[in-house]
Amino acid sequence: MSLVSTTAFILKVDPLSEKNLVVALLTKDHGVVRAAVRGARGKSKRAAALQLLTEVSLTYFRREGADLARVDGLEIVASAFDLASRAETAMLLPYLAESALTFVPESELGGDVFRLVRHVLDALEAGVPAPLAARYFEVWLLRFAGVLPEDDAPEEIRLLIGVMRRLPLIALSLKPPRPAALGALESLTREARRTFLGHELKSYQFLGVLG
């Protein structure tokens, strides 16, 4: 049995029993971990911490051969409540979470994606437009997965990807790309994602509200 202390983002929450939940966590040091959280259903301190893309500090342990780890300590580091409450960002959070859960295998480290999620959330908190943040996130996530076909993209899109690779989101938002360029980039990332996965993410259909 190993005991691990780390920080993580909440990616998904499902019922496990009458009082317990199972969560999918994107940890800073150990990739995606699925764990049981006892006493987390209903109105409780633990339930309040298990909001989508809230960053938490936690301790968990896993018995050898067990499918699920078990969460011990759990505290909020940074809540995503404000972003979830804003009309312009609420629909983006499920997409970010499902994307991370899909593209980070449970057996592999996900430190790059963890840092990407933190960067995007910080930028959204600072007022970066959600459509720009979504495209930035897609470019980097697909690059990490090795499935971004940037060499085959039109020149304007290759240049835009190059800028996204050089600049943080807040700096990029000071001179944002043309809406048409962002639209073309979305088409590129959408096709790359669908080709790689063989299907579309369920949460993608809700991104139309981002404009």
User: First CA to last CA across the chain, in angstroms?
Assistant: 48
Residues of the chain with pLDDT under 50: 211
- 109 and 60 both lie in a single domain: no
Contact 134, 95 (CB under 8 A): yes
pLDDT for 30 equals 87
Of 57, 79, 101, the residue at which a domain comes to its end is 79
Rounded-to-integer distance, Cα 136 and Cα 128, Å: 11
pTM of the model: 0.92
pLDDT tens track for 31-55: 999 999 987 776 667 777 899 999 9
pLDDT for 13 equals 93
- 60 and 105 both lie in a single domain: no
- 88 and 33 both lie in a single domain: no
pLDDT for 43 equals 64
| No. of helices (H) and no. of strands (E), the chain | 9, 5
- 60 and 94 both lie in a single domain: no
- 8 and 54 both lie in a single domain: yes
- 15 and 53 both lie in a single domain: yes
Of 47, 79, 111, the residue at which a domain comes to its end is 79
Question: Encoding tokens for residue 32?
Answer: 């995606």
- 192 and 101 both lie in a single domain: yes
pLDDT for 207 equals 82
Q: What is the CATH number of the domain that holds 44?
A: 2.40.50.140
- Number of domains into which the chain is organized: 2
- 56 and 87 both lie in a single domain: no
Of 36, 62, 79, the residue at which a domain comes to its end is 79
Residue 37, domain extent: 2-79
- 181 and 117 both lie in a single domain: yes
- 93 and 73 both lie in a single domain: no
pLDDT for 1 equals 54
pLDDT for 3 equals 84
- 75 and 146 both lie in a single domain: no
Contact 103, 113 (CB under 8 A): yes
- 165 and 68 both lie in a single domain: no
Rounded-to-integer distance, Cα 47 and Cα 32, Å: 20
Residues 80-118 as b or e (16 or more Cβ within 10 Å = b): beebbeeeebbbbbbbbbbbbbbbbeeeeebeebbebbb
Give the amino acid at 188: L
